[in-house]
Amino acid sequence: MRLFASAALGLLFTGITIIAAPAQTAPPVTGSPAATAPAPAVAAGPAWADVSSWANVHPVETHNVVYANMPVIKNPSVLNPSRPGGAVLPTPNIGGTVDLHLDVFQMPSAKPAPVVVHLHGGGWTAPAGQSHSPGPFTALLAAGISVVSVEYRPSLEAPAPAALQDVHCALAWVKANAAKYNLDVNRVILYGVSAGGEMALMAAYAPDTFDPAGCTDQPKVAAVLDYYGPPDLAEALLHEPGSGDFNRQWFGLAVPLPADPAAAAAANGAPAPARWPEPSAAELALAKQLSPMNYVRPGVPPTYIVNGDRDPRVNPAQDSKLKSALDAAGVPAGHDIIPGAGHGNFPKPEANKAWLLCLQFLQAQGILQ
C-alpha cells in the first residue's frame, strides 16, 4: 500500500500492546533408589526445533502502519522496466513525498520479545513493499520472535542511499514503539534477503552517517541474518554484470546507454550489448561506501550468512570472503552454503535447515533464551 503526500519529512508512530501467558516448563525427572543409578535427565530441546510446530503460530497482525514520510527524488539511472520484459511501473511523484509502511507480526509473550526487522529483496529496484503475510517468518515466530516487515523506497523513487536511510528510520520506529508492541530493544535482529541482505549488513555495520534527521535514536542491532546479500558492491560493479545492472540503477550516477535493436539482433546468441558505460570513479567510490565489507571490524553484530553455491546474481565467493573477514575480526559468524542452490527459492528441506541453523546461532548469542 503506497500513499503519496506533499508533507515535509516526518515520522509517524502508532502501535498496540499484547501480553500473554508465561512459557511452561517440563516436569522433573525421577528415579527408583532400588534400581541402578538412573540415567541422567536429558533436557528437552526448544519447541522451535520441531519444524512441524512452525505451522501452528498465530501472531497478532497489524498491517500498513506508516513509519515515515520521505521525499521522492528523481533518479536518472532508473530503467523502467528495471528488468528486461518486466512491467512498466507508475511514474513517481518527483518532488513530493511518500508514506512508507510496515507490518507487525507480534508473538504473544509475558515479557518483551526479541524482534526481527525484515528487509525484502528486489535489487533495490522493485517496489515489492513489506510482507503482508506471516508465512515467510513461521520459523522465527515459532521461536517467540516478533517480526516487523519494512517497506523502503526503491530506486524508482530515490537513488542511494535513500533505501538505507529508510531502514534506519524503521529501526527508530521500532525503538519508539517497543513498549506498545512488547518488543525487546536489546534483542533487535536485522534479517534481509538479497538487496535487503546488503542493507541489513550496512545498517548493522556502517557508521551513523547514513542516519537521516529525525531517525537517530535507534536500538543497537544484536545480530544479522544475511540471506544472499551482496557484501561488496564495488566488486560486483567491476566483475559481475548480472548484479551490476541493479547496482547502477540504485546508485543514480550514470545514464543507461541508448538501446540498439540492430546490435541486439546481430548478437545472435553472443553477449548482449552493454547497457551502461564503464563505471566512473564516482560510481566506484559510492559502491565502496555502500559495501558492508568495508565496515567489518571487531564489535560489529554477530552475523549468520545463507546462500546457494550456484547463485547467478551474487557471487557466492563474496559471502565466503565476508565470513572470512568476520572470523578475522573475531566477530561471531556462521555460514550455511546450500549446494546446488541459486538466488533464493531453496528446496524446502534446505530452507528449513537454514532456519534451524539461524535459530541455533541466535540461541548461541543469547538472543533466544
State yes or no: pLDDT of 194 exceeds 60.
Answer: yes
For 203-229, what is the mean pLDDT? 95
The hierarchical CATH code for the domain 49-65+102-235+281-364 is 3.40.50.1820
Q: What percent of the chain has pLDDT over 70?
A: 83
The pLDDT tens digits for 29-76 are 334 343 344 544 445 689 999 999 999 999 999 999 999 999 999 999
Three-state DSSP class for 195?
Answer: helix
Three-state DSSP class for 120?
Answer: coil
Phi, psi for residue 275 in degrees, rounded to 5: -95, -15
Q: Rounded to the nearest 5 degrees, what angle is found at the Cα of 237, between the Cα atoms of 289 and 83?
A: 115
**Residue scoring higher pLDDT (101 or 21):** 101
- Pairing relationship of beta strands 113-119 and 333-338 according to DSSP bridges: unpaired
Phi, psi for residue 125 in degrees, rounded to 5: -100, -30
For 207-233, what is the mean pLDDT? 94
The pLDDT tens digits for 142-172 are 999 999 999 999 999 999 999 999 999 999 9
Return the exposure string of 278-302: e unless at least 16 CB atoms fall within 10 Å of the residue's CB, then b. Answer: ebeeebbebbebbbbbbbbeeebbb
State yes or no: pLDDT of 9 exceeds 60.
Answer: no
* pTM given for the model: 0.86
Q: What is the pLDDT, as a whole number, of residue 30?
A: 38
For 198-224, what is the mean pLDDT? 95
Nearest alpha-carbon partner for 120 in 92, 148, 144, 141:
148
Distance in angstroms (rounded) separating the CA atoms of residues 127 and 162: 13
351, HSE (Cβ side, Cα atoms, 13 Å):
13
Lowest-confidence pick of 35-39, 122-126, 167-171, 219-223: 35-39
Instruction: Report CA-CA distances (Å) from 274 to 158, 194, 257, 270, 287.
Output: 24, 24, 7, 12, 19
Distance in angstroms (rounded) separating the CA atoms of residues 364 and 361: 5
Q: What is the pLDDT, as a whole number, of residue 269?
A: 64
- Pairing relationship of beta strands 113-119 and 146-150 according to DSSP bridges: parallel
pLDDT band at 212 (very low <50, low <70, confident <90, very high): very high
Distance in angstroms (rounded) separating the CA atoms of residues 40 and 352: 31
Cell output for 132: 503482508
Query: Quick check: 171 and 219 in contact, CB under 8 A?
Result: yes
Average pLDDT, the chain: 86
The domain limits of the chain are 49-65+102-235+281-364
